[in-house]
Amino acid sequence: MLTQEVKMKKSILIDSKIENISLVEKLVDEVSEEARINSEIYGKMLIATVEAVNNAIVHGNKEDESKTVNIAFLIEEDVIRIFVEDQGPGFGFNNVPDPTIPENIENIHGRGVYLMKHLADNVLFHGIGNKVELIFNRA
């Protein structure tokens, strides 16, 4: 695998408070504008990143405001990589139930990972599952 030159790198560290998602939204806007990301990718990036951060705050860090979430953007020539890492215990990312099957339709949880996987070109969970990488192709 050839590694691409990183064109831009930005990150933010937030406390685990739902209202801090607005800071992440602002960063996505900034990165998108500076890297000239088209509106279709921007929309997918915004929703997937917000879902990942929300999961990190609510499920990973259990809304413990003493814990943080680290969000990092790596913009390469052809690829955008977004990393979201919480301080939680991780989870069994291979065992997330499909929210679209009939027995899970009424369940209010389990939609975030599904959305991320359908919006990003690739989703990777690292380590114990407390770090997700969202990959978007620019081409």
The answer to whether residue 79 scores a pLDDT higher than 60 is yes
Stretch 6-19: mean pLDDT, rounded? 96
The 8-class DSSP code of residue 38 comes to: -
Task: Write the pLDDT tens digit of every residue in 15-47.
Answer: 999 999 999 999 999 999 999 999 999 999 999
Stretch 71-100: mean pLDDT, rounded? 89
Of 82, 3, 77, nearest in space to 36 by CA:
77
pLDDT for the residue 6: 83
Which fold would CATH assign to domain 6-137? Answer: Heat Shock Protein 90 (3.30.565)
Q: Give the domain ranges of the chain.
A: 6-137
In whole angstroms, what separates CA 77 from the centre of its chain?
20
Would you tell me how many other CB atoms lie within 10 Å of the CB of residue 77?
10
pLDDT for the residue 27: 97
* Model confidence, pTM: 0.91
